[in-house]
Amino acid sequence: MPANLTPDFLAAQAKYREAKTTEEKIAALEEMYATLPKHKGTEKLQADIKSRLSKLRNKEKQEGKRGKRYDEFHVPRQGAGQIVLVGPPNSGKSSLLARLTAARPEIAEYPYTTRTPLPGMMEFEDIMIQLIDTPPVTLGGGDRSVISLARNADAVAIVLDASDPCVLDHIEGLVSDIAKSRVRLIGNKEMLDVCEQGVVSRRALLVANKVDIPDAQANVGVLIELYGDRFVVQEVSALSGEGLEDLRRALFHTLGIIRVYAKQPGKPPDLEKPFTLEVGSTLIDFAAAVHKDFVRKLRMAKAWGRDIPDGAQIARDHILQDGYIVELHA
């Protein structure tokens, strides 16, 4: 790694690592190329960026050709993150969307009421999270369109009817269908890592709905036993409202994000609008989110948070926690 990479380049590189869509990746790579000092020491890096760019541009062209088919299924991301609700027919996805957001999906006791994805915005404390209700995924059907929603979302909530005697068949079917489509579901505690080419990791949560029905309890026990190590299993009832507040929090944690509040020197912190960053983000990631110039200009920073003394000075690589207040000094 050449030693003289500029903060602008490093900021662009961070953007590239976080980029999800081909379009975002191309934009970040172009910025990396533009900010890379061009000399002998960076020749390899220059070539590497160029080759990645040309591959992605080809991919973009192909996606343009194929993409049309799933257009009605593409939901533009809004808010702090996008979580797609997937599950078998009648598990209560639409009911949950109606309870958690202002969206008004059609709900009925007959299956397949929902035919196209419907987004809604869920409030969690001071941020909004986008939930997407989807048509049901049938067992073993490998429904491509719903799975493509899972690929494009930040996280997946698997909604199950815990009172259904077939609940285990449903979850096995779903997890294996999703795996076949090269999406790897991971639990809240695992870190997102780079795995096989073309396989994407998505955090997932199991929602055991309909716990108001007496038969559900035994099934929830089995679900926790079999899947509790891997995923958080959240018990709820869209009917009675039980567990809904915990579900909001669990959905937030499934996104793998933290909220950080900016404070200008000599002023009270802005507690209205937090910045949302990936879990594990550092002071310098926050500085880049506030303004890219801060990456270069940052002299020092003070912070308030549960794991540090009030107003402690923190280093550039200090890992921030949810709820931090940070004062940047240029």
Ligand X SMILES: Nc1nc2c(ncn2[C@@H]2O[C@H](COP(=O)(O)OP(=O)(O)O)[C@@H](O)[C@H]2O)c(=O)[nH]1
- Quick note: the x/- pattern for Mg ion over 75-94, rule CB under 5 A, is -------------------x
Percentages (nearest 5) of helix, strand, coil residues in the chain: 40, 25, 40
114 binds Mg ion per the rule CB under 5 A = yes
209 binds Mg ion per the rule CB under 5 A = no
- Best CA proximity match to 80, nearest among 319, 326, 322: 322
What is the number of other CB atoms lying within 10 angstroms of the CB of residue 235?
20
Which of 27, 107, 192, 308 contacts ligand X by CB under 6 A? 107
Q: Please, which residues bridge with residue 124 across strands? A: 127
From residue 227, give the alpha-carbon distance in Å to each of 173, 195, 232, 247. 14, 22, 8, 17
234 binds ligand X per the rule CB under 6 A = no
> 85 in helix, strand or coil?
strand
237 binds ligand X per the rule CB under 6 A = yes
With CB cut-offs between 5 and 8 Å by kind, which of ligand X, Mg ion, none does residue 243 bind? Answer: none
154 Rama class: left (phi>0) / alpha (psi -120 to 50) / beta: alpha
CB of 276 to ligand X, least distance (A): 28
Contact 114, 65 (CB under 8 A): no
101 binds Mg ion per the rule CB under 5 A = no
Segment 193 to 222, residues that bind ligand X, using CB under 6 A? 209-210, 212-213
From residue 153, give the alpha-carbon distance in Å to each of 1, 3, 82, 238, 266. 33, 36, 5, 23, 39
138 binds ligand X per the rule CB under 6 A = no
Contact region for ligand X (CB under 6 A) — 1-9, 38-46, 104-112, 280-288? 104-112
Segment 75 to 94, residues that bind ligand X, using CB under 6 A? 87, 89-94
Contact 248, 239 (CB under 8 A): no
Contact region for ligand X (CB under 6 A) — 70-78, 106-114, 189-197, 289-297? 106-114
Where on the chain is the footprint of Mg ion (CB under 5 A)? 94, 114
Where on the chain is the footprint of ligand X (CB under 6 A)? 87, 89-95, 107-109, 111, 113-114, 136, 209-210, 212-213, 237-239
